[in-house]
Structure 1
């Protein structure tokens, strides 16, 4: 396995996406194999499985397609996470499914990614699923996208084929207002431009996939956001040594907290001062995003699971009216008047879908007005009224505190992933709501 040197420049979280049979799992397997991130016993297991399937050479896609159903069907179903490293950087990779039925899993894999690799088959070019995955990456504000034009060996490594696909795709992303795009011609099966430069495409002078992954800038925050700590658990140990101990535990979503800092607890609005911060049972002077900590306050105020601790001077507004762009992930449609649970951070409240102003048409990025419902894999605009006020940031400021999910209260099924304030175009503010509030008292 690779040992990191002093040239390491951080950890990159990235996801792969694309249509069925575009070669995502093969690309990931090639990255792992050629970067020498595969143990000998893993490679032997893949070679054995490949021989059992009548293949003369190891099928590198099996390095990620771990479920038995995936191997039998030859497709990726679940999100496969892999961890590997090169001398320059660590990587956390999410290999997401390509089948339209599993688009919801692409949302899961890309939600925390800083880069998405979207594959297209050079023979087919940009297809609907390519557009859908690109739209989702743009909505999730993934900063970087790599379009990997795969199977160049099957089109004779023709530059004109690559150029046409690159032109069409970059025009689509520009119209979408999406992220920074790098287009790379590859053959995952043959290894062309994956880790090593290809001898078959002398007309291409850009980076290989791995070279780009190693050098793309890493930034774990979309924009400067004030500190945010969703309270997950209230700790009240029965101890004679510290009978008055009351700690508020959680994972810091954004920013930095310091001892002595004035804070506000939302949605109640009560204020206090941080008397202490503990990490792994030890006191620290400061803690920052993604660290799990316990915060002690100077005042005895009512704080419970689901509350949000924020700086006193920079607290988000609390609201019961939420407007967001969503990707619907459930087989059950989302309709106007739908009663749901809204989970934001560690807080879950009852909510009502009051309006669905528009649905995005992926081909030309037009908005279909007031569809009345969203079905699986639809991207649309929704308005929601919650039973209790929520302190919500804009998704543009924080991917963690600006996002939420909608849950079916009957069986706990995740219905929709939402991003507060995100939109491709402004919906009609004068649009009327078709929802009826009977029995909800919001």
Structure 2
């Protein structure tokens, strides 16, 4: 299919459940049902991260074992190369860990890193097995998690329930079911773009619900007062809008995209204006809107810490070990994921992480130029990934679970078009309409 809006409205959210869409009725088995339900449950609970490890971690480890065991993955050559890069990066992190003075703390951090690499690889294989159906399953469950997290965030920020403010806010900012407002905001952005894409594929009279959900999630992003999240949301919307227009096949579709983006901008401005009418919100926005905070400057500030990190990287080709920077050299993290990976995994491990990110952006752009059935979904994920990768310049995203999900979705959809063994093709899914 040649364009973002070239599908019918039935290609997106419909009457049947995401799990029902993932497997045609005649091919369903009890094991497949349970596996798909496990995937849906994993992503539906991915927004509950009050502490670590979180429920999603236990469920994800289960998926790492379950999905390959029952054959619900496709590890084609592209994904094997992708997995090999993560394998080398993990080995580099282990090597750097031997140089750490705090072996226990470093070992835990490295174990989490390797688990995230493994989960990314397996989820990518799951997506490659049936790209459109499995991507929709994940995004649908992710949206449910986002709604729950955003509802908690708003309940806490506005004190709608007894004790909600203490449980769902941090430092006067909406955190929802996350322990950090700076993670809540970026987590909500993929579902926001997904709902806008859903609205785009629907006739006018069925656009209200997805637009309302997108607006609800946008308000939660705003009240997280995360400058990074605001940046990622704005950039994701800009990239998505441009790519959607560039790949649209008809003038009418382009007009609809422009109208939707204009309406979205007006609604976003309305939400911000309404929020700013509250003195508490206006004061916090004034503080957070500054590009340079007091804790950014000076030798002990964020930028000073990054200068220390660069010096350590130049002196330590094998790295210094994960978490060593904060315990021995600076009072806080580097706030730049690329510098962090060079410290945690050495020159080779840091370079591989950077290579994975750059390859994903370059190969992803080449892939989106091709007319594939998954292009509408791919544009959503790709736009958000690019923005999140750039956010890594100002924050450490190396343990953000949703970042690795974005990688998995992109690589799963990208490599799914490559030739695969007959037994691994998603022919079994081909007869299932996306209702």
Which protein, 1 or 2, shows the higher relative CO under an 8 Å CA cutoff with sep ≥ 6? 2
TM-score over 0.5 for the pair: no
Structure 1 or 2: more strand by fraction: 1
Larger Rg over CA atoms? 1
Q: Give TM-score scaled by structure 1 length.
A: 0.22
Structure 1 or 2: more helix by fraction: 2
Q: Give TM-score scaled by structure 2 length.
A: 0.22
